[in-house]
Chain A
Amino acid sequence: QSALTQPASVSGSLGQSITISCTGTSSDVGDYNYVSWYQQHPGKAPKLMIYDVRYRPSGVSDRFSGSKSGNTASLTISGLQAEDEADYYCSSYSSVTTRVFGGGTKLTVL
């Protein structure tokens, strides 16, 4: 059982927006702004998409955005494109276990 809870799957049509949630506790997401999001295509290494809740690394499309409310962080992808189809993982610093990941969400672009 993962420390952070994500939906197993989400789907959206080309051009639409989707949001992936990541629910933790006051020991991780709720108390720290050290939430990051990763995109992983099949057979590839993960790629950092969002760090510190809402910041994008250089080169990541501005269609990706992050936010947080209470113990839940969210990743929103707007203007869905076919290449966005991938697995997405959230991660947070934790005062209990140092770093925790979510179980991952499979995004299907219809």
Chain B
Amino acid sequence: QVQLVQSGAEVKKPGSSVKVSCKASAGTFGSYALTWVRQAPGQGLEWVGGVIPMFGSSNYAQKFQGRVTITADDSSTTAYMELNNLRSEDTAMYYCARGSDLEGLDPWGQGTLVTVSS
């Protein structure tokens, strides 16, 4: 069973960028996709976007278009989510999970807390 391990917590200033990583324990991503979901404190889940490493293709929620970039490096089985021009409303736990737009997401990474504060 593949496991997803994410990078550690980040504290960022408004206007800056953050790049969160998600490493799969398996030797390769294979044909599966990875999805990023965020959860603001005390709030529900929100889809950010996803990537299919085999094809190098990504898609994003309209809300984040132009501010987010999701990539994957099959050689290191690591996916990345970079969010630019951070604002306080971006303070949230960011999760990666295996699965495409159509699939159930399983498993999930442990989450990375991103705090945006001046």
Which residues of A does B touch, CB under 8 Å? 2, 32, 34, 36, 38, 45-48, 50-52, 57, 89, 91, 93, 97-104
Asked if B53 lies at the interface with its beta carbon under 8 angstroms from chain A, I say no
26 A-B pairs with C-beta separation under 8 A? A2-B44, A34-B102, A45-B110, A46-B45, A46-B95, A47-B106, A48-B105, A48-B106, A48-B107, A51-B104, A51-B106, A52-B104, A57-B106, A91-B105, A93-B101, A97-B61, A97-B62, A98-B47, A98-B59, A98-B61, A99-B50, A101-B37, A102-B44, A103-B44, A104-B44, A104-B45
Complex CA–CA separation, A47 to B35 (angstroms): 14
Report the minimum CB–CB distance from B112 to chain A (whole Å): 11
Task: Judge whether B47 and A101 touch: CB under 8 Å.
Answer: yes
Task: Judge whether B62 and A38 touch: CB under 8 Å.
Answer: no
Asked if B89 lies at the interface with its beta carbon under 8 angstroms from chain A, I say no
Task: Judge whether B103 and A34 touch: CB under 8 Å.
Answer: yes
Task: Judge whether B104 and A45 touch: CB under 8 Å.
Answer: no
The tally of residues in B whose CB lies under 8 Å from a CB in A reads 23
Task: Judge whether A57 and B61 touch: CB under 8 Å.
Answer: no
Task: Judge whether B35 and A99 touch: CB under 8 Å.
Answer: yes
Residue of A nearest to B62 (CB): A97
Complex CA–CA separation, A45 to B101 (angstroms): 19
Chain A residues whose CB sits within 8 angstroms of the CB of B35 once the complex forms: 99
Chain A residues whose CB sits within 8 angstroms of the CB of B111 once the complex forms: 45
| A-B pairs with lowest CB-CB distance, top 3 | A51-B104, A48-B106, A36-B104
Task: Judge whether B44 and A101 touch: CB under 8 Å.
Answer: yes
Chain B residues whose CB sits within 8 angstroms of the CB of A91 once the complex forms: 45, 47, 105
Complex CA–CA separation, A52 to B106 (angstroms): 13
Asked if B108 lies at the interface with its beta carbon under 8 angstroms from chain A, I say yes
Return the contact of A98 from the options B46, B101, B105, B108 (Cβ within 8 A). Answer: B101
CB contact under 8 A between A47 and B108, given known A89-B45, A104-B45:
yes
CB contact under 8 A between A89 and B106, given known A98-B59, A98-B101:
no
